[in-house]
């Protein structure tokens, strides 16, 4: 293995592995600037070209991997060897944003059994544009709950660009047998703004208790934007499920003074049989009226 020893200014030699610097991953393009020990007043030419890099004795050009190499690394994510898979993840993370045209190669890996691979794929797809939505959508109905949850998370990371998938996410939120999937779908819908909020308002009137709970969570994730569904939110304070009442109180508190229409019902909830409902009602009143509300009873 070729190695270069640099011993500027009488310092102990430092060894640089040249084979790494000339590996294919660097595209065969190396910029090596040796600066240490070359900053005396007589080295004006070199100092003029070094600029701010003088603090870094060895400066190497940032790599730009060809698509072929990225594709090979993605293929390595499916290796039977765990070490190979995780080394591929590390290399792909070093590259940074994966180009969107690799979405079709990454989407199937949402079903990968390796949690590390799956997490990397979720993050990578979530940083791509809305073009990957159609690639990820089929995984919302995958047989494994973990895969469905990952697909919902990707939609949430894409955000407003995933608006075409709102109907599918609402269906998952309303019907999925796994609460974790419903909860992740709620988080995704919450960041999609008005188009999702209108659909969530319909779910709040559902006969399915878990669907209403998930819709309330999504409204909470939507923050102050949920105010466009204010009449439905006030009505939901009367829900027979304590979890729904509690979450809706939080939503109204997040909206703030614009939710003043809910104050009479929130005051009644200070005497609710459920302690969480009482506490969240007090929180909401404090946010809406901008003054401390009467302390709820804890018993």
Contact 159, 192 (CB under 8 A): yes
First-last CA distance in the chain: 74
Please give the backbone phi and psi of residue 39, each rounded to the nearest 5 degrees, phi first.
Answer: -120, 20
Q: Give the span between the Cα atoms of 62 and 13, in whole angstroms.
A: 25
pLDDT at 143 over 70: yes
Residue 240 lies in a domain: yes
Give percent above pLDDT 90 in the chain.
68
pLDDT at 298 over 60: no
Residue 198 lies in a domain: no
Q: Give the span between the Cα atoms of 275 and 267, in whole angstroms.
A: 14
Considering 37, 59, 81, which residue would you say is the last residue of a domain?
Answer: 59
Please give the backbone phi and psi of residue 58, each rounded to the nearest 5 degrees, phi first.
Answer: -125, 115
Residue 291 lies in a domain: yes
pLDDT at 294 over 60: no
Q: Which two tokens stand for residue 67?
A: 């698509």
Q: Give the span between the Cα atoms of 299 and 297, in whole angstroms.
A: 6
Tell me what the pLDDT averaged over the chain comes to.
Answer: 81
CATH code of the domain covering residue 284: 1.25.10.10
Residue 47 lies in a domain: yes
Q: Give the span between the Cα atoms of 19 and 6, in whole angstroms.
A: 16
pLDDT band at 64; cut points 50, 70, 90: low
Please, how many CA atoms are within 13 Å of residue 57, restricted to the half-sphere of its CB?
Answer: 13
Residue 214 lies in a domain: no
pLDDT score recorded for residue 125 = 97
Lowest pLDDT segment from 46-60, 91-105, 167-181, 261-275: 46-60
Helices H / strands E in the chain, number of each? 16, 4
CA nearest 241: which of 273, 201, 281? 273
pTM summary value: 0.72
Q: Which residues have a Cβ under 8 Å from the Cβ of 258 and sit 6 or more positions away? A: 224, 227, 230
Residue 203 lies in a domain: no
Residue 222 DSSP label: H
Quote the number of domains for the chain: 2
Helix (H) or strand (E) holding 196: helix 194-203
Q: For the stretch 238-269, what's the b/e string if a residue is b when 16 or more beta carbons lie within 10 angstroms of its beta carbon? A: ebeeebbbbbbbbbbbbbeeebeebbebbeeb
Q: Which residues have a Cβ under 8 Å from the Cβ of 235 and sit 6 or more positions away? A: 204
pLDDT band at 96; cut points 50, 70, 90: confident
Residue 298 DSSP label: -
Q: Which domain holds residue 35?
A: 3-59
Residue 48 lies in a domain: yes
| Coil vs helix vs strand at 33 | strand
Q: Which residues have a Cβ under 8 Å from the Cβ of 88 and sit 6 or more positions away? A: 73, 74, 76, 77, 79
Residue 109 lies in a domain: no
Report the sign of the C-alpha dihedral through residues 74, 79, 82, 87, in that order: negative
pLDDT score recorded for residue 35 = 36
| Coil vs helix vs strand at 4 | strand
Lowest pLDDT segment from 4-18, 196-210, 279-293: 4-18
């Amino acid at each position: 293995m070729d190695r270069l020893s640099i011993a500027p200014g009488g310092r102990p030699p430092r060894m640089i592995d040249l084979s790494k610097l000339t590996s294919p991953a660097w595209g065969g393009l190396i910029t090596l600037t040796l600066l240490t020990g070359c900053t005396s007043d007589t080295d004006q030419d070199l100092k003029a070209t070094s600029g701010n890099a003088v603090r870094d004795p060895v400066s190497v050009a940032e790599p730009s991997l060809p698509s072929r190499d990225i594709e090979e690394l993605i293929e390595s994510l499916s290796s039977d060897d765990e070490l190979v898979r995780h080394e591929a993840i590390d290399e792909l993370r070093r590259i940074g944003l994966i180009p969107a045209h690799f979405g079709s190669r990454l989407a199937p890996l949402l079903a990968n059994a390796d949690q590390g691979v799956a997490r990397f794929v979720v993050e990578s797809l979530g940083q791509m544009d809305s073009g990957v939505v159609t690639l990820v959508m089929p995984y919302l109905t995958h047989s494994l709950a973990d895969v469905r949850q990952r697909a919902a998370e990707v939609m949430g990371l894409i955000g407003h660009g995933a608006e075409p998938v709102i109907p599918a996410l609402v269906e998952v939120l309303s019907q999925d047998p796994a609460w974790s999937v419903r909860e992740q779908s709620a988080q995704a819908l919450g960041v999609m703004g008005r188009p999702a909020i209108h659909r969530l308002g319909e779910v709040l009137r559902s006969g399915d208790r878990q669907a209403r709970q998930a819709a309330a969570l999504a409204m909470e994730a939507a923050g102050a934007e949920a105010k466009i569904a204010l009449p439905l939110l006030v009505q939901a304070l009367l829900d027979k499920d304590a979890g729904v009442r509690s979450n809706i109180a939080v939503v109204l508190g997040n909206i703030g003074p614009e939710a003043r229409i809910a104050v009479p019902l929130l005051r009644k909830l200070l005497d609710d049989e459920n302690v969480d409902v009482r506490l969240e009602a007090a929180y909401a009143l404090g946010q809406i009226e901008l003054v401390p509300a009467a302390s709820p009873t804890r018993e």
